[in-house]
Amino acid sequence: MNADRVSSLFWLLLGLITMYGSVQLGLGTLREPGSGFMAFLAGFFISCIAVGIFLQSIIRYRGTPLQIKVLWAGSSWHRSFTIGLLTLGFILALEGLGFFITSFLLLFCLFKGVEKLSWGKAVLIPALTMTISYVVFNILLKSNLPRGIFGF
């Protein structure tokens, strides 16, 4: 599957939705442009460029097109996927467990689960980081980091 074709179709869809949404906001007139005017121009521009990229992907087909499967070939994509999932988990647990516990868990999972460091390093480095962060943000800067159900 040609990557440029897929991406251009995505952008075309985005551009068309933007143009529709902009009309809902109101385009105004050329004498007095409305709230949707700039967004409509942006959506129109995106749609035109998307068509251009799509046509470019067809015209250049005789060369070496960018295939989707090649984009991830030879890469350890599961590592970035894991890190993405862990970060998402951090965001979801942030308010509930509090900033320091969720950060500690995130760092621990990254050092131990993803990077396979020793237990000592995987516990010590996050613990040290959290201690310094607690002093800097809670005590010195008096930041309002979420405390969670455990109160810190």
> Which residue ranges make up the site for another protein (CB under 8 A)?
3-4, 7, 11, 14-15, 18, 21, 25-26, 29-39, 41-43, 45-46, 49-50, 52-53, 56, 59, 62, 66, 71-72, 75-77, 79-80, 83-84, 87-88, 90-91, 94-95, 99, 103, 106-107, 110-111, 114-115, 117, 125, 129, 133, 137, 143-146
Instruction: Please identify, using beta-carbon distances, which residue of 53 and 123 lies nearer to another protein.
Output: 53
* Distance of closest approach, residue 111 Cβ to another protein, in angstroms: 6
Going by C-alpha positions, the residue among 107, 146, 134, 99 that lies closest to residue 123 is: 107
For residues 47 and 16, the answer to whether their CB atoms sit within 8 Å is yes
d(Cα 2, Cα 67) in Å, to the nearest integer? 5
For residues 4 and 51, the answer to whether their CB atoms sit within 8 Å is no
